[in-house]
């Protein structure tokens, strides 16, 4: 008699009674096997569609010199293989770097722009939304050093210097990656072309950069500064009530802006501790705590080229604190200006050690709030630019400073230039030194 409902009774399931496979199950498994074999065969036939550079959703065409697929003829020339491998690496590098350098921007691949002399096309990107295009250039420049590593497979048989990717801005304000003199990737920033075209020109031999701190409380000082006959840099408190409007004005007028980042000051001699304001970094912060404050500060001003410190003598005097900050910024194209609020600041030093482009302030313009004193400080800053090649001077939106800036006449024959031109110049030098094995 058959037992029911016990472990000894016959089982029902995919094997059916007696443990054999049901006919329907065998048919299903056979169909699945046929489908898998067909898929594998299709992938083998169309292997070129899986090449690293052809990511899904891309509208742009690959340059004609790119060969797709890994299963290719063993007789492929070493130079053709090198170009193909570097191009695949460049594609991956671009996709990795875009969201790091321009996190709030939007970008899309477009049809490649024909290159008449080469019969090929560069990958073309259209980048819109709030961003600082130079940050992408600086971040890519740092990463490109590894894209033509002689130890990378298939590059040992060719001249690595010839296959080193280059980065350049065009007279039309586009950013290009070039390989063997041909553009492989081109980035367009609609509406920003005029300001970015400056980057195609070399930095003058004597360049002066003027930074005005403490902006964002109201729009009027920024409007006064934008009306000057030479460019100034607007350093904006990230959480000030008119921070966004000030940054927007800078963009409309072709001016650069910085995040004027509050940092912990030293207590005064009488024991009073000045308050740096909202969004401040403190020297004893952990990595996680620092990042939780820093990231909203940066996101508040997505068009900023970088940052400089507001107050911050205690923070910038700590190598460990500056190292944490710079590690958080690394790889994202940020520029760091050390306001040098105390003589033993470590900010610029740690920024350079982390691979960031960084300089220290040369002159404070308005330590004395007097028009004649500010005029003298401007002359001193111009003299430093003449002797050192460039200088950065920092002032504040005081009435006396604004009056002096309107009246100042350059006697040293320097060029007052946008900050972006100095940053790109220094980034190129840094990349060149790194490629030669020099120290940053």
Instruction: Give the 3-state DSSP-derived string for 149-169, with helices as H, strands as E and coil as C.
Output: CCCCCCCCCCCCCCCCCEEEE
Return the structure tokens found at 289: 């705590």
Is the C-alpha dihedral spanning 328, 331, 333, 336 positive or negative? positive
Q: Give yes or no for residue 18 having a pLDDT over 70.
A: no
Residue 183 dihedral angles phi and psi, to the nearest 5°: -65, 130
User: How many angstroms separate the Cα of 385 from the Cα of each of 83, 198, 237, 257, 268?
Assistant: 42, 19, 27, 21, 33
pLDDT at 148: 52
- Long-range CB pairs of 361-364, under 8 A, 24+ apart, other chains included: 361/211, 361/308, 361/337, 361/392, 361/393, 361/394, 362/388, 362/391, 362/392, 362/393, 363/391, 363/393, 363/394, 364/393, 364/394, 364/395
pTM value is 0.81
Which of the four pLDDT bands, split at 50, 70 and 90, describes residue 16? very low
Contacts of 409 by beta carbon, 8 Å cutoff, 6+ apart: none
Q: How far apart are CA 63 and CA 350, in angstroms?
A: 40
Buried b / exposed e along 331-351 (16+ C-beta atoms within 10 A): bbbbbbbbbbbeeebbbbbbb
Which of the four pLDDT bands, split at 50, 70 and 90, describes residue 56? very low
Q: How far apart are CA 81 and CA 77, in angstroms?
A: 6
* Residues 432/420, Cβ–Cβ less than 8 Å: no
Q: Give yes or no for residue 15 having a pLDDT over 50.
A: no
* C-alpha closest to that of 63 among 108, 143, 118: 118
Which of the four pLDDT bands, split at 50, 70 and 90, describes residue 399? very high
Buried b / exposed e along 310-322 (16+ C-beta atoms within 10 A): bbbbbbbbbeebb
Give the range among 176-185, 326-335, 382-391, 401-410 with minimum mean pLDDT. Answer: 176-185
pLDDT at 51: 31
Q: How far apart are CA 133 and CA 186, in angstroms?
A: 12
Give the pairing of strands 363-364 and 357-360: unpaired
CA 54, 58, 60, 61: dihedral to nearest 10 degrees? 30
Tens digit of pLDDT for each residue in 274-327?
999 999 999 999 999 999 999 999 999 999 999 999 999 999 999 999 999 999
CA 312, 316, 322, 325: dihedral to nearest 10 degrees? 20
Residue 217: CB atoms within 10 Å: 16
Give the range among 68-77, 232-241, 353-362 with minimum mean pLDDT. Answer: 68-77
What number is the average pLDDT over the span 380-399? 97
Among 50-64, 157-171, 263-277, 292-306, top mean pLDDT goes to 292-306
Return the percent helix, strand and coil in the chain, to nearest 5.
40, 20, 45
**3-state SS assignment for residue 97:** helix
pLDDT at 82: 78
> Please, which residues bridge with residue 123 across strands?
185
pLDDT at 216: 98
Q: Give yes or no for residue 409 having a pLDDT over 90.
A: yes
pLDDT at 271: 84
Q: Give yes or no for residue 356 having a pLDDT over 50.
A: yes
Return the structure tokens found at 388: 């050192």
* Residues 230/210, Cβ–Cβ less than 8 Å: yes
Answer left, alpha or beta for residue 268, where phi above 0 means left and psi between -120 and 50 means alpha. Answer: beta
């Amino acid at each position: 008699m058959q037992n029911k409902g016990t472990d000894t009774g016959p089982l029902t399931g995919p094997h059916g009674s007696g443990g054999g496979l049901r006919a329907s199950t065998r048919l299903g498994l056979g169909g699945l096997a046929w489908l898998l074999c067909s898929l594998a065969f299709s992938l083998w036939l169309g292997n070129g569609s899986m090449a690293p550079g052809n990511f899904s959703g891309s509208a742009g065409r690959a340059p004609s010199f790119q060969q797709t697929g890994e299963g290719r003829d063993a007789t492929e020339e070493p130079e053709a293989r090198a170009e193909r491998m570097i191009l695949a690496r460049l594609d991956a590098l671009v996709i990795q770097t875009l969201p790091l350098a321009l996190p709030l921007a939007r970008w899309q691949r477009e049809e490649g722009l024909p290159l008449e002399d080469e019969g090929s096309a560069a990958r073309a990107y259209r980048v819109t939304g709030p961003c600082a295009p130079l940050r992408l250039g600086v971040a890519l420049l740092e990463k490109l050093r590894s894209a033509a590593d002689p130890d990378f497979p298939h590059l040992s048989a060719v001249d690595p210097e010839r296959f080193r990717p280059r980065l350049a801005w065009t007279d039309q304000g586009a950013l290009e990656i070039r390989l063997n003199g041909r553009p492989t990737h081109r980035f367009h920033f609609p509406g920003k072309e005029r300001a970015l075209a400056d980057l195609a020109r070399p930095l003058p031999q004597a360049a002066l950069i003027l930074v005005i701190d403490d902006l964002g409380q109201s729009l009027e000082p920024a409007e006064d500064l934008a009306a000057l006959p030479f460019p100034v840099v607007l350093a904006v408190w990230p959480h000030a009530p008119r921070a966004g409007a000030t940054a927007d004005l800078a963009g409309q007028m072709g001016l650069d802006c910085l995040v004027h980042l509050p940092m912990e000051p030293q207590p005064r001699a009488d024991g009073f501790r000045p308050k740096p304001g909202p969004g401040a970094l403190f020297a004893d912060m952990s990595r996680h705590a620092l990042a939780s404050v820093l990231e909203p500060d940066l996101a508040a001003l997505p068009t900023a080229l970088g940052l400089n410190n507001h107050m911050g003598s205690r923070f910038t005097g700590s190598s460990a604190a500056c190292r944490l900050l710079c590690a958080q910024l690394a790889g994202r194209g940020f520029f760091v200006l050390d306001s040098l609020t105390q003589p033993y600041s470590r900010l610029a030093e740690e920024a350079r050690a982390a691979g960031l482009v960084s300089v220290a302030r040369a002159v404070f313009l308005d330590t004395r709030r007097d028009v004649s004193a500010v005029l003298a400080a401007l002359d001193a800053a111009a003299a430093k630019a003449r002797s050192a090649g460039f200088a950065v001077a920092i002032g504040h939106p005081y009435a006396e400073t604004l009056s002096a800036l309107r009246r100042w006449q350059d006697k040293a024959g320097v060029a007052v230039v946008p900050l972006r031109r100095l940053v790109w110049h220094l980034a190129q030098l840094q990349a060149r030194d790194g490629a030669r094995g020099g120290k940053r």
